[in-house]
Amino acid sequence: MKRRTFITLSGAALAWPLAARAQQRVPVIGVLVQGVPAPAPFLAALRDGLREAGYVEGQNIRLEVRSAEGQADRLAEKAKELLGLNVDLIVAFQTPAVMAAKAATSQVPIIMAPAGDPLSTGLVTTLARPGGNITGVSGASAEIGGKTVELFRELLPAARRIAVLASETDAFTRPFLAEISRAAQILGVEIEPTLVRPGQPPDATIEGMVARKAQALIVQGSLARKEVFEAALKHRLPSCSSNQIVATLGGLMAYGANQALLYRQAVPYIDRILRGANPGDLPVEQPTKFELVINMKTAAALGINVPISLLARADEVIE
């Protein structure tokens, strides 16, 4: 532990002359979250990972978490607040937070933890050598949206109209919707996208979708929160998102990169940047493990018979 402390400190000292002057100064990590979806699992995974890497909060590292409380327009303000604290780097949870951080600084390193398809949103120009001050973990690519449509078709072969709840404030929305439309065209289903703000109460929106005869709902990852899935269930609308957490929140299905792993993947970036690495030199990592989770309770509540071909592929089945 001592050795690690020493390395960390010396690494930080190399990277920032200010830190060298302060000598015993503990590196400060700014964490920027939108507040939707709930950041708790992300923060827990981040803290676990840091601890495993030898960083103990309050001893050799300080975490400053700032949340926009679901109000996307407050992200910029929170990002500025973090910069005002003179943080050593910013860990931004999901694309809107990364975007806000990027807008706020081109100097302080920013780690995407994760951001959906950073190539198509323009956060980085190449994954191998991102350059600039941004690096980190790429979440699911927009392709996942198409895959979700395919899964819905398999689960509900009769479904012809799928609603999509997409974020008004997320740069990932555009490529995400494009992929979904492409898949829908191939599979012969209709898509009804609705753009909302992250913190917006979902009830009325979902009621409208059901009224327009939507048979399934795809929720963009950055909008995945309890209220949305509860409202969907209330209106008997089968729902799906890329974050595994949705299944436990009352959603029907989740397909996407294993989020817990993605969160943890941010830790090596933090470690290396604190030791003086240049974020532009660190390649963006892509997810390797994709998981299908099916909530059988929701399925039963909705009276859906999950075909064996899906169950066989499911990594997790919530009974």
Partner 1 sequence: MSDAAPAATAPPPPSSPPKTRGSLFRKYVLLFSSIVGAALLANGAVEVWFLYRDHTELLLRVQREQAEAAATKIGQFVKEIEGQLGWTTQLPWSAGALDQRRFDALRLLRQVPAVTELTQIDAAGKERLKVSRLAMDVINSQNDLSQEPRFTQAVARRTFHGPVYFRRESEPYMTLAVAGTRRDAGVSAAEVNLKFIWDVVSQIKVGNGGRAYVVDAQGRLIAHPDISLVLRNTDFASLAQVQAARAGGQSPERALSTEDFQGHKVLAAYAPIAPLGWWVFAELPLDEAYAPLIDSIKRTGLVLLLGIVGAILAALFLARRMVVPIRALQAGAARIGAGELGARVEVKTGDELEALADQFNTMSTELRDSREREERVGRLRRFLSPQLAEVIESTGADTMLESHRREVSVVFCDMRGFTAFAESAEPEQVMAVLHEYHAALGELIHKFEGTLERFVGDGVLILFNDPIPCPNPSERAVRMAVEMQVAIAFLAAKWRALGYELGFGIGITHGYATMGRIGFEGRFDYSAIGSVVNLAARLCGEAQDGQILIDNAVHAAVAPLVECDEPSDITLKGIRRPVRAFNVRHLKALAAE
* Residue 267 to residue 302: CA distance in whole angstroms: 40
- Give yes or no for a contact between 192 and 159, defined as CB atoms under 8 angstroms apart: no
Figure out which of the listed residues 119, 159, 178, 304 binds partner 1, where binding follows CB under 8 A.
Answer: 119
Residues 249-288 that bind partner 1 (CB under 8 A): 281-286, 288
Query: Is the bond preceding residue 114 a cis peptide, omega within 30 degrees?
Result: yes
What strands lie across the sheet with 253-257, from one edge to the other? 190-196, 161-167, 216-219, 239-241, 253-257, 290-295, 316-318
Task: Give whichever of 261 and 301 is closer to partner 1, judged by the CB atom.
Answer: 261
Compute the 3-state secondary structure of the chain and give helix, strand, coil in percent, each to the nearest 5.
45, 20, 35
Task: Give whichever of 187 and 301 is closer to partner 1, judged by the CB atom.
Answer: 187
Task: Give whichever of 22 and 311 is closer to partner 1, judged by the CB atom.
Answer: 311
Task: Give whichever of 194 and 286 is closer to partner 1, judged by the CB atom.
Answer: 286
Site string for partner 1, 207-246 (x = CB under 8 A): ----------------------------------------
Closest CB 38 distance from partner 1, rounded Å: 26
Closest CB 315 distance from partner 1, rounded Å: 7
Task: Give whichever of 32 and 140 is closer to partner 1, judged by the CB atom.
Answer: 140
* Residue 307 to residue 287: CA distance in whole angstroms: 27
Task: Give whichever of 30 and 146 is closer to partner 1, judged by the CB atom.
Answer: 146
* Residue 256 to residue 127: CA distance in whole angstroms: 19
Task: Give whichever of 232 and 282 is closer to partner 1, judged by the CB atom.
Answer: 282
> Could you tell me how many residues of this chain bind partner 1 (CB under 8 A)?
29
Figure out which of the listed residues 2, 21, 128, 303 binds partner 1, where binding follows CB under 8 A.
Answer: 128
290 binds partner 1 (CB under 8 A): yes
- Give yes or no for a contact between 79 and 90, defined as CB atoms under 8 angstroms apart: yes
Closest CB 91 distance from partner 1, rounded Å: 17
31 binds partner 1 (CB under 8 A): no
Residues 129-158 that bind partner 1 (CB under 8 A): 129, 140-141, 143-144, 146-147, 149-150
- List, in sequence order, the alpha helices (H) in the chain: 2-15, 17-22, 40-52, 75-84, 95-104, 143-155, 173-187, 203-211, 226-234, 245-248, 259-274, 296-302, 308-313
What is the total residue count of the chain?
319
Cα–Cα–Cα angle for 262, 263, 267, rounded to 5 degrees: 105
Task: Give whichever of 38 and 261 is closer to partner 1, judged by the CB atom.
Answer: 261
Figure out which of the listed residues 22, 126, 168, 201 binds partner 1, where binding follows CB under 8 A.
Answer: 126
* Residue 23 to residue 288: CA distance in whole angstroms: 39
Q: Where do contacts with partner 1 occur on this chain (CB under 8 A)?
A: 119, 126-129, 140-141, 143-144, 146-147, 149-150, 183, 186-187, 281-286, 288-290, 309, 312-313, 315
